[in-house]
Amino acid sequence: MTLIEQMAAAKASHDYQKLIDLIPYAGFLGLTAAMQGDELITTMRYGDHLIGNPALPALHGGTLGALLESAAIFELLCRAETVVLPKTITLTIDYLRSGAPVDTYALGVVTRQGRRVTNVRMEAWQTDRRAPVATAHAVFLVMRA
């Protein structure tokens, strides 16, 4: 089975975690994804290897960027009409607060799905969803399989 077929099968059975488990880097970060209501929420489970500033301590900015990018990719993989592997063209991250050493959640919302590119905006939060730690927007190249 090709990767796209495996992804299509995981998507058809609504087993989004299976789809995410196909991506090694998602495992390295400790990402899980699950539907909560009508939203696909990606969780980055806290681990000591995610720390960027041990003095505070605070999460590495790269981990928040990776979580935000992944949340957008998962949204596209799980909920877009066709299964495709989106390629990130550009990603812009705003760091709003320092990331505490706890679980972090993220959500991607498609703002426009075109034939070739899709625009997504993302948000990551910890204990208080109204106080995001980082927001981002990204443009993906979405080539039909």
Partner 1 sequence: MADLSDEMQGRMARAFSRGVPHNLALGIRILAASPTEASFELPYDAKLVGNPETGTLHGGAITALLDAASGAAVFAALPSLVPIATLDLRIDYLKPAAPGKPVIAKASCYKMTRTVAFTRAMAYQDNPENVIAHSVGTFMLSTKMGSRTP
Closer residue to partner 1 in complex, CB, 98/113: 98
Residues in contact with partner 1, shown as a per-residue x/- string from 2 to 21 under the rule CB under 8 A:
xx------------------
The residues that bridge with 88 in the sheet, in sequence order, are 140
Residue of 13, 49, 102, 129 that binds partner 1 (CB under 8 A): 49
- DSSP letters, 50-113, are GEEETTTTEE-HHHHHHHHHHHHHHHHHHHSSS----EEEEEEEEE-SPPPSS-EEEEEEEEEE
Which helix (H) or strand (E) segment is 43 a member of?
strand 39-44
Closer residue to partner 1 in complex, CB, 37/118: 118
Interface with partner 1 includes 82 (CB under 8 A)? no
Interface with partner 1 includes 95 (CB under 8 A)? yes
Which residues make up the interface to partner 1 (CB under 8 A)?
2-3, 22-29, 48-54, 59-63, 65-67, 69-70, 85, 87-95, 98
